[in-house]
């Protein structure tokens, strides 16, 4: 890979590198069920993936009194952690990261997960030392606010124009637009390809293999 367009490649985590979309969706639905709330359909529950937890639950449970958000968050975490250790990276994701790293790209993560949650996921996947920088929703503004990308580029001394955000949701691509970076969508996660394409990313990949092929040719 030759660094023609980008020096810094920022990945979303859930639904982009980690095959966790279905589990997050089920955990949101189970948490709502526990509190006797209307249970969001799959598409509605998966729409909020990538946002910070509080923002996500506000959208998933719009009838809930704000004073009850901590209870809903606790029930979500309970259900998520039941099978957290069983969630795996998408096939080919580890190899793609290693290839990019070997080619000299800087790598980062911008995620709606908490710092505790991301560190647990990175440790479980054996990727703690893979990334040059990471940002979580409980450390700064949630997507689609541009803060995560602005902070990562400043921390790593990189140009926004030479940075790309890769993610599976419109929140990721809107964040890239707001920050002034390029965006690449992946359609194997939470949001449909047509929703991603509506935000005019450089590319929408239907698999990790397709993403890797595009990056080899264009990045």
31: Cβ contacts below 8 Å, ≥ 6 apart: 57, 72, 73, 75, 76, 78, 79
| Residue of 14, 19, 132, 172 marked catalytic | 14
Nearest to 197 by CA among 185, 208, 181, 189: 185
- Helix, strand and coil in the chain, % to nearest 5: 50, 15, 35
| Residue of 12, 19, 132, 168 marked catalytic | 12
34 catalytic residue (yes or no):
no
12 catalytic residue (yes or no):
yes
Which residues are the active-site residues?
12, 14
């Amino acid at each position: 890979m030759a660094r023609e367009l980008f020096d810094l490649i920022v990945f979303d985590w859930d639904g982009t590198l980690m095959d966790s979309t279905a589990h997050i969706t089920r955990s949101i639905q189970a948490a709502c069920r526990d509190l006797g709330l209307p249970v969001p359909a799959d598409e509605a529950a998966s729409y909020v993936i990538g946002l910070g937890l509080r923002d996500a639950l506000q959208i998933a449970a719009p009838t809930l009194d704000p004073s009850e958000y901590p209870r809903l968050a606790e029930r979500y975490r309970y259900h998520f952690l039941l099978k957290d250790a069983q969630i795996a990276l998408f096939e080919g994701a580890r190899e793609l990261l290693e290839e990019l790293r070997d080619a000299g790209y800087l790598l980062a993560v911008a995620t709606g997960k908490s710092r505790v949650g991301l560190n647990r996921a990175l440790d479980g996947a054996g990727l703690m030392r893979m990334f040059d920088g990471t940002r979580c929703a409980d450390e700064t503004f949630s997507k689609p606010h541009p803060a995560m990308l602005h902070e990562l580029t400043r921390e790593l001394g990189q140009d926004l124009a030479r940075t790309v955000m890769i993610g599976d949701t419109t929140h990721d691509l809107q964040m890239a637009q707001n920050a002034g970076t390029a965006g690449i969508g992946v359609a194997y996660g939470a949001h449909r390809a047509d929703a991603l394409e509506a935000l005019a990313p450089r590319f929408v990949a239907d698999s990790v293999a397709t993403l890797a092929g595009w990056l080899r040719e264009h990045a």
